[in-house]
Chains A and B, each alone.
Chain A
């Protein structure tokens, strides 16, 4: 009996792994694609090709959201905790950057000095400059390039960071699964509450006050694109046939029902997002997406509670 317990203990350590394949095929590939996207966008800005710029910005949004959805580098080294906030200030920064950017455009100050804040060089700033300003204006074009290059620099930093801490992620599988699940839950809450609920008037903050222009990328019309990228990345984490993922691990730990519920809610959310256009947040389609992402978040939390397995652990010491 004792030997059986020891064997089960070691097997549980071995199977509790989100492996190297996952790391390379999802984490590394997604960050490389994001860097390629920003590279192409920089080329398009240099050529001032407005049609291609619009398309390529959409690609950058999509690839960045994929990186953001699985961002756990800050857990591996806290020096990287704030890096996403240097790229993206959605819901994380109360300052109004649009009038600040207008002031910079209309001034004669050296751009390097004028754009001194991190928020001036984020994807949110880039969207404003690319989609509301005239790129034939050299100062605007230079601003766009400074922002895009700054984003590229932070993305490259993230890639280097992941490569540096890959072994740390892979050496402690239980920890790896925990931080990955945490990232999923945090991302799903933000998706449900900020990216859909605030817009659809279903969140506590904006109850019954729907407004399509509150969407994450309302200026460029990439909000649904961003949501699809987030959901597709979640599928890469919990429902991929190509490598061992969190879904496989959950099944090995007999949480088949819980993970199936999560996958079902995820598939519903993807279908709802695919069925939406940029102006659908405030109607039934937005409401459906809010409900399915809410189910998804709860399913993740249930999986988490299940992982704890606290039920049997104190029971035997109960009663007096």
Chain B
């Protein structure tokens, strides 16, 4: 809905977003085929990893039980526990996502794999899935460990009163932020939130800036930009006028096909190890 309203008042951008050139760009076509691959990969490889979230939660819970015995906080109501759990889950998820994303940029051997995502010359919603399998796995582990940890602690403290507020199976806050346009991160819809809001919430335009060649070491946040603000990686959208997506020309040639996206990072890693 935000898209329609935004485009109605920005007819120039409407032309870009609806252009054939964008949707049939070789980078977009590669995103589509890579998306199909990623669905299979997520089901076959990531899902078994994600299941271990339950194991992590159980492990944390049992360790706490062994360490501190049986504890039950009875002062909070069912609703309060639900709100607290949903909120903490969302914040912790976003916080760990920020740090993993930042590490993907600053640790050289991780950057080799994360480049796959930044190799998109144009952005569309499926660019979200243009992520190397190694990165998928890292995000899977991050998810299992962080969500499993916080769930284990909550179950230890509140038992089965722990529950999550969700809308159609999605964390309430994730749903709200998605409505606020977070799914426009990978698009050419230049939606900014203004200086004040962008200190706390990442606008689609801020993430698009992150995808530009000159500012890719800024705006690592997922839903919240407050992490970028606190840890010195924030850039507000009004400060950037010229955005060119993708990597440097010399690097772009290494990410032209599905095969390139999958194997090029391994080749680079192999060469680096061999050195």
Contacts and interface: CB of A to CB of B under 8 A. Distances in A.
A298 B69 CA distance: 15
Given A189-B65, A317-B174, A320-B101, A308 B78 contact: no
A5 B168 contact: yes
A193 B155 contact: no
A174 B161 CA distance: 10
Contacts of A312: 169
Given A181-B159, A313-B166, A314-B89, A186 B66 contact: no
B118 to A, nearest CB: 10
A266 B164 CA distance: 29
B217 interface: no
B151 A313 contact: no
Contact of A182 (B101, B139, B159): B159
A179 interface: yes
Q: Is the interface of B mostly helix, strand, loop or mixed?
A: helix
A185 B171 contact: no
Interface string A23-61: 000000000000000000000000000000000000000
A179 B159 CA distance: 9
Nearest to B174: A317
A204 B78 contact: no
A190 B131 CA distance: 47
Given A178-B161, A315-B50, A319-B136, A189 B93 contact: no
Given A81-B74, A320-B101, A311 B54 contact: yes
Contacts of B58: 298, 301-302, 305
Given A5-B168, A190-B70, A305-B151, A310 B128 contact: no
A313 B101 contact: no
B178 to A, nearest CB: 8
A278 interface: no
Chain A interface size, as a band, is 35 or more
A182 B136 CA distance: 35
B155 A319 contact: no
Chain B interface size, as a band, is 35 or more
Interface string B177-190: 01000000000000
A319 B164 contact: no
Nearest to B183: A317
B53 A311 contact: yes
Interface string B28-66: 000000000000000000000011011001100110011
Interface string A283-316: 0000000000000001001101111101111111
Interface string A5-34: 100000000000000000000000000000
B266 to A, nearest CB: 19
Contacts of A161: none
A298 B66 CA distance: 13
B97 A175 contact: no
Interface in A176-235: 177-179, 181-182, 185-186, 189-190, 193, 204
Contact of B54 (A175, A177, A305, A320): A305
B86 to A, nearest CB: 10
Contact of B78 (A78, A175, A186): A175
Contact of B97 (A182, A313, A318): A318
Nearest to A294: B62
